[in-house]
Amino acid sequence: MTKPLTIEAFEEASERVKDVTLPTELVYSDYYSQSNGAKVYLKPENMQRTGAYKVRGAYYKISTMAPKDREKGLITASAGNHAQGVAYAAKKFGVKAVIVMPTTTPLIKVNRTKALGAEVVLHGDVYDEACDHALKLADEKGYTFIHPFDDPTVATGQGTIAMEIIKDLPLIDLILVPVGGGGLATGVSTLTKLLNPKVKVIGVEPEGAACLTASFKNHKVTTVEHINTIADGTAVQTPGKIIFPYLEKYLDDVITVPDAELVQAFLDMVENHKMVVENSGLLSVAALSHLDVKGKRVACVLSGGNMDVITMSSVVRQGLILRDRIFTVSVLLPDRPGELTRVSSVIAKTGGNVVRLEHNQFVSINRQDAVELKITMESFGTEHKHQIIESLTKNGFAPKVVPTLLS
C-alpha cells in the first residue's frame, strides 16, 4: 500500500476514485463574486452519485484493504454522507456493510443508505455516540471498521478534491472547506500545501459544533461538551486524533459560522445557482462574509447535498423570515365592518402580499374599542418591509412587528 497523505498516494487515489465519482468541475459564481469583490468558484460535491464527497475516501480506503479484511464485512458510523459512501463502495466490491447512524439523522440519508444495500443501525443522538456503538459491534462481530475521518487513507481519498480544484484553477489563492471531524480538511490542506504552499486553506465549522476551533485554541485534541447545530453532517464533538497534526501543520485557519447564516446561504444557493446544498456543505460559502477575499480567486467546497424535504421546507421558511421577505405585524382595529378591507387595501397598494391572518377578539374587554389582527405577509426584503409598515402607520394603524410563526 502506498503511504497515505503523500503525493504518490494522492495521485493513486485520484485515479482510483474516478471509478465511483462524477466530474464536479468548478462553477464560477457571479453572485458570490459580485457580493465579495472576488472571483468565487464552487466545487459542487453535492452533485456526486451519493450526494457528497465522502464516497472518495470510503472507496479509496476500501480499495487499499486486503481482500480478507473486506470479506469480514465493513462497519462504520456516520451522520449520513460517509454512510452512503461506504455503502456504495461496499456494493462495488460485493461485500457486506453495516452503518451505525445517530437517531437524529435525516430520513433521506437513512433511506438512501439502505437503498445501497447496507444494514442500518440507529443509535445515539450524535455521531460520537454512534461511533462508540459501531466500534463495539466491530469487536463483537469481527467487522472491519472504517473511520469516517480519523484515518489518513480516508483523508487521502478526500484530498483528491484539491487535486481537481488546482487542475481547474492553477492560480487559486484560497480554498474554503467545511469541517466536521477534519478528514476532508486534512486531505485538502495537505495536498494543497504539497502542490503549492502559497495557496491558503481555511476550515469552516458551525458555531454549535466548533471542536476544531477549540482544539486549535488548546493546541491539542479537544472535545466540546454540547452540540447544537442544523449542520448535521459536521455535528462532531471531537476532531480526529490521528489526523490532528496534519490539520495543525497545513490548515491556515479555522473559523465558525452561525446557523442563521447557513439558512440564508441555502436561499442564496437555490435562487442563484438552482442547487440544493445541505447545511454542512454551505459552511464554505457562508464563510465568505467573514473574510477579506477582495481580488482573490476562491474555491468553496460544497461538500454535500443530502437534505430531506421537511428540513428543506423549514430552512426556506426561516430564511425568508430572516431576510424580511416574510414578516408579521399586529394592529388593533375597531370591531366593525370594513376595517379588514381598509388594512388589506393599504398593504396591497404598497405591494405586500397577505399570506395569513389571525383575528383575536379577546385582546380587550371592549370589542368595539379594539380587536387584534395579526397579518403575516410577503415582501421583497427589508426595505420593502419598512415601506409597508410606514404606509400602515401613515394610515393610522400603528403596526407592531411581532414574531412570525408558520405552521
Just list the catalytic residues. Answer: 54, 303
Q: How far apart are CA 6 and CA 259, in angstroms?
A: 35
Which residues fall within 8 angstroms of residue 176, CB to CB, at 6 or more apart? Answer: 202, 204, 283, 284, 285, 287, 288, 298, 299, 300, 301
Q: How far is CA 347 from the centre of its chain?
A: 36
Q: How far is CA 406 from the centre of its chain?
A: 23
Three-point CA angle 385, 388, 391, nearest 5°: 150
Residue pair 385/379 in contact by the 8 Å Cβ criterion: yes
Q: In Å, what is the CA distance from 184 to each residue of 136, 229, 289, 294, 329?
A: 25, 19, 22, 25, 45
Q: Across-strand partners of 358?
A: 374
Q: What is the CA radius of gyration of the chain?
A: 25
Q: In Å, what is the CA distance from 165 to each residue of 36, 186, 195, 267, 399?
A: 20, 15, 11, 25, 51
Residue pair 257/177 in contact by the 8 Å Cβ criterion: no
Sort strands 353-360 and 371-378 into parallel, antiparallel or unpaired.
antiparallel
Q: Residue type at 167? A: K
